[in-house]
Each structure stands twice: as C-alpha cells, then as structure tokens.
Amino acid sequence: MKWWFGRRGAQRANAVKRLERSVFLQGYGNLTVHVHIDGLGAVCPRPQLLTMRALDHMEDGEVLELVVDNPGSAEAIPGMDMTLGSTHLVTLHEDSCWRIFVRKGYKDSDE
C-alpha cells in the first residue's frame, strides 16, 4: 500500500489514539480529552487530514488534542475548525511543539 505522506507516514500509522484523560485549560477548566493525535514530525497536510478523519468518528462535545511541531499546521488547524463543524478551544505553545485542543461541535462548555 502506498502512503500519501511518504515513509514516515507508514511508521506513524498509529498517530490517532482514542483515550480519556483530564486536562486543565485556562478559561475552560477541567476537560476530558477523548482523542489524541501525535502529529510530531508530520508536515501539511497530514495533521489536517488526521484531524478531519478523527472528527468524523467523534461525537458532538468530545475533545481532540493534536500535538504538532510544524508551524504551518499549528496555524492551519484553528482556521479549518469551523468548516469541520468544530470549535477551536486553545493552542498552547510549548518548548518544541504546539498542543491544539478542538471540540467537535459548536459548544462552549464541557458537558
């Protein structure tokens, strides 16, 4: 099978993980993250495509965390959220990556 994103994509086939863990986000309080996407080392459009695919399988109100080290992806995700029926909650810049939190649907609070 040929990978759209090169050999690195084949090595990171398990980039999307279903989980439940609690995180504290300023302005939102404690939220449960339901899906984690490891986009470290991936370049556009792979993180965006993984996000779109994950959101397709999520329920309204669930939260996704995307971790990327590509500045282009960190900028593109918040802008595409509205077209995907989701809400960008916050992007946190850490030493070597960005953590982007997205809620499926247009809700402002964790229910």
**Which residue type does 49 have?**
L
Please say if the pLDDT value at position 108 is more than 90.
no
Residues 74-100, mean pLDDT to the nearest whole number: 92
pTM score: 0.82
| Range among 6-10, 14-18, 26-30 rated most confident | 26-30
Question: All domains of the chain, ordered by start, with CATH?
Answer: 7-104 (3.30.110.40)
Dist. CA 111–CA 98, nearest whole Å: 25
Please say if the pLDDT value at position 17 is more than 80.
yes
**Which residue type does 18 have?**
R
Greater confidence (106 vs 33) lies with: 33
Residue among 59, 65, 64, 74 at smallest CA distance from 105: 59
Burial code (b: 16+ CB inside 10 Å, e: under 16) for 30-39 equals ebebbbbbbb
Please say if the pLDDT value at position 7 is more than 60.
no
